Structure 1
């Protein structure tokens, strides 16, 4: 397969998690005034297509700088769940065979038997609402589903703002409080990639390279690319 860019462009006013710093790009130096261009970029560590490090939610979790560069290359499995309703929970039964029934401590290093992947890329279809208020009402991982993914030794990538429900005035009373899916995944030392651009044309298996800015922080924007090798 030809390389596929899974990354949203960084631009002023792009969607961010409610309460996070807004993204802005402003000229600092211009060709007319200075003979060269420099742009002032202001954003949070979780802007756009980005990775969450364990330090995002875990008091003693690793920061990005504690991961070797090769740990941002993944053998990925594509899970197409497009067609889910707003704020619909993703349960363990919706996960691929080998993850839907794995229990912590089974297989090799807790991984599901026969599961040849270290990143689940989950398409909910909610990426089509990028830039719309509906994007905040995306489907989410139940704590049980996140626990199964973590037990299988997998990181996760989503075309949503959050693996947990994003708070809005449309939240249901039965939705989990806090960030339990984050804590299951990041607490197990895995990574979470959010706001991926996912299309229907991706194969079931591919390689993802998603390299963050080299910053000792809780997260950072990435350039995420899917390819055959």
Structure 2
């Protein structure tokens, strides 16, 4: 079995609309920190110079949103109320784990310009590859967006899905839809331009707002989808970090391909 990393990094040196803060305490600084923590919380005095080389452990402190890097959006990300079930959407720590370890299908959307792809285009891609997802399969969208990773254009020039396209996938039983773009919806600028032209609220982030009526999760900011050897016949693991009442959780998405 071969593993293919489908995750993009959390990188404080790259451009992000919500900047990432990353502070690293060296092993020497970590020893001093440990000594201070022992004194404050446990009343124990310890001289860090007694440690080998005066070092203990490094320590990373980060400031970032749960939507940085590869992450899974929970139903609660789409709104505070839902029209299904109890009416209260689930947070990321409440989602069933079996949604996130499944056979997967990757669809090639690299031939499309910035904007939203509809259901007709997805059907054409299913016909091209000769395969449709089974219930609970994970569907991945290869848009080519990672070639702009680390730049402002990564957040402004990419392809998303419209509402009917998302409904099509959910009708097939898909519950996890992933994309290598910044968002499963079209870029903000594209959405707002269409809204100003039409005054039609249905063009406002439809892929996300579908989640208020139908429970599903998105994986955003995937990577390396072009490394998958075939459109289907592989499995994906993308377990989200368990953040209590979180609207999203970071994930190390990995494809498993049989040799």
Q: Say yes or no: TM over 0.5.
A: yes
Residue 7 (structure 1) aligned with residue 16 (structure 2): no
Listed as ranges, the matches of 1:142-181 within 5 Å are 142-154=162-174, 155-168=176-189, 173-174=193-194, 177-181=203-207
User: Where in structure 1 do 4 or more consecutive aligned residues deviate above 4 Å?
Assistant: 96-100
Deviation at 1:43, TM superposition (A): 1.1
Listed as ranges, the matches of 1:1-229 within 5 Å are 2-16=2-16, 18=17, 21-27=18-24, 29-33=25-29, 34=31, 35=55, 36-59=57-80, 60-85=88-113, 87-96=114-123, 115-116=133-134, 118-135=137-154, 136-154=156-174, 155-168=176-189, 173-174=193-194, 177-185=203-211, 187-202=213-228, 203-205=230-232, 206-216=234-244, 217-228=246-257
Cα distance change on mapping 1:98 and 1:133 into 2, 3 Å: closer
Contact 2:115 2:160 in 1 (8 A): yes
Given the two structures, how large is their TM-score scaled by the length of structure 2? 0.73
For residues 196-226 of structure 1, the C-alpha deviation after alignment (integer angstroms, 9 at most, x for no partner) is: 0033231211111001111121101100000
Given the two structures, how large is their TM-score scaled by the length of structure 1? 0.82
Number of paired residues? 211
What residue ranges of structure 2 are gaps of 5+ in the alignment?
32-54, 81-87, 196-201
Give the structure 2 partner of residue 103 of structure 1.
none
Deviation at 1:134, TM superposition (A): 1.8
- State the secondary structure of the residue aligned to 1:137: coil
Higher helix share: 2
Q: 2:15, 2:164 → 1: CA distance?
A: 28
- Which structure has the larger Rg? 2
Deviation at 1:115, TM superposition (A): 3.5
Q: 1:194, 1:116 → 2: CA distance?
A: 21
For residues 80-124 of structure 1, the C-alpha deviation after alignment (integer angstroms, 9 at most, x for no partner) is: 121222x23211122146979xxxxxxxxxxxx964252111101
Contact 1:99 1:152 in 2 (8 A): no
Contact 2:133 2:139 in 1 (8 A): no
